[in-house]
Amino acid sequence: MEHAAPIDESADVPATPPTAPAAVRRTLADLTPPIALGPLDGRYRSAVAPLVDHLSEAALNRERVHVEVEWLIHLTSHHVVPGAPTLSTEERQYLRDVVTTFDDATIAELAATERVTAHDVKAVEYLLKQRLAAAPQTLGADTVLPQVGELVHFACTSEDVNNLAYALMVQGGVRQVWLPAAHALVDDIAAMARANAAVPMLARTHGQPATPTTLGKELAVLAHRLRRQLRRVEGAEYLGKINGATGTYGAHLAAVPGADWVRVSRTFVEHLGLTWNPLTTQIESHDWQAELYADMARFNRVLHNLATDVWTYISMGYFAQVRGQGTVGSSTMPHKVNPIRFENAEANLELSSALLDTLGATLVTSRLQRDLTDSTTQRNIGPAVGHSLLAIDNVRRGLAGLDVDAAAMARDLDANWEVLGEAVQSAMRAAGVAGVPGMDNPYERLKDLTRGRRITGDDLRTFVGGLGLPDDVAARLAAMTPATYTGVAAQLVDYLD
């Protein structure tokens, strides 16, 4: 009988790949339109798009143009430099139109100039000088704008322009985009708190059943905390300076010794809607930014607390995710609706807070009179605020998809009568102080009754009935249930108003 030859399984797989031309993947970086490297400019663009108008690189250049234009108008309007002509209303408007018409063509023009200058602020200076030179084509040959070209960026270091531009950018992004979104979210939470002010809920301290509260009161706590942080953000100062290469007005006085440059600086910064900083090195110290970002990060962390609490309530069945949930919950388990909005918010709040913390820690330090660490750092303000804005959007969407399941909360309360042990032992203490006999060791006696085991309403009422409490106290405790043991939780929600 012949034996079959052993099977050589390795023979089915070539030891080396067959010789063939290597497959060449297309380079994604070369595709048009450009593919975003980060999710804020890709997957989540729609949620953060309003920030582009304030915290993008293009917005930075537009604000630089804005500062340069206003500085030129300020110098000429206040006759700071002797011999400089006064600009007409039409000429001032022509200059300001460079800012209001800032578009993709201007962005491309600046980029082309910067490739030559290798300096971003210098590119802005050259752009504005080109617009001045071209003014006769629009305003006529008698315009004086070509004569004031050398007043563009007059006596300025780049940081004079940059610090003001960033202050305007951050002010706009926070006040016009982030704060309205954050207020809308807190208003949503406050509305939920009011609607559920009297809905009883078992509290949990250290994860264990504890004195009952109401859902509304717990939401109100978070709304109150968030509003407090928003008030701090609303009160933020946005500082600026324009005082030269080391903050001494050296070039200013060398060029025009007769001008009151300190007054000129202050009035200009305040004209922009910023707070003047009188004492700086080459850079504005950025302390205001660190203060602002600390408050925004604290808001993030309170909101993170809300997201994790709501996630937990969902897992306990206190909330049902039923409204607006047309999406796939789980790729394999059709019964599931995952709390993805709150999980997404958690992650983005952590990213935002980490970036805000880094910004605050880095920006307050500059070696001696100047180093450039702030230049790269400040270019990440947009992502820091963007991740927070995205989280705010996700929490709002998540909350809008929730229904409160009061019945689930009621079942949980009814299964935990032992939480009334606190009420009984407190009443015993008060009765003992009032001279009622037999009220000794109330805590220990309730501990023996309740710790480590479940009790029923009947168990508790039997215990209370044998204590010898005054009739009115005994009746009050006998009528109490976990669902009614909520103190003034419902009324506390009114403090939101």
User: Helix axis angle, 471-479 relative to 421-433, nearest 10°?
Assistant: 170
Q: For this structure, is 388 an active site residue?
A: no
SS3 for 279-299 is CCCCCCCCHHHHHHHHHHHHH
Q: For this structure, is 10 an active site residue?
A: no
By CB atoms closer than 10 A (0-12, 13-18, 19+), residue 188 is middle
**Tokens 């309007």 — which residue?**
77
Lookup: tokens for 358: 């880094």
Q: Could you tell me where the beta strands, DSSP code E, fall in 85-220? A: 200-205, 208-214
Which residues are within 8 A (CB) of 284 and not within 5 positions of it... i.e. 6 or more apart? 159, 163, 167, 239, 240, 241, 277
Whole-angstrom Cα distance, residue 264 to residue 125?
21
Q: Length of the chain, please?
A: 497
The answer to whether residues 194 and 216 touch, using CB atoms and an 8 Å cutoff, is: yes
| Residue type (1 letter), 345 | A
Q: Which among 497, 489, 462 is positioned nearest to 478, based on CA atoms?
A: 462
Which residues are within 8 A (CB) of 106 and not within 5 positions of it... i.e. 6 or more apart? 127
What residues pair up with 214 in beta bridges, in sequence order?
200
User: Helix axis angle, 457-465 relative to 471-479, nearest 10°?
Assistant: 180
Q: Which among 114, 99, 92 is positioned nearest to 53, based on CA atoms?
A: 99
Does the N-terminal peptide bond of residue 257 adopt cis geometry, omega within 30 degrees of 0?
no
The answer to whether residues 412 and 405 touch, using CB atoms and an 8 Å cutoff, is: no
What counts of helices (H) and strands (E) characterise the chain?
22, 6
Distance of CA 365 to the CA centre of its chain: 23
Among residues 3, 10, 206, 335, the one annotated as catalytic is: 206
Among residues 119, 271, 315, 330, the one annotated as catalytic is: 330
**Tokens 């490297």 — which residue?**
37
- Residue 117, classed as helix, strand or coil, is helix
Phi/psi region, residue 234 (left: phi>0; alpha: psi -120 to 50; beta: rest), is: alpha
Whole-angstrom Cα distance, residue 5 to residue 219?
75
The Cα angle at residue 160 between residues 155 and 163, in degrees rounded to 5: 175
Catalytic residues: 206, 330
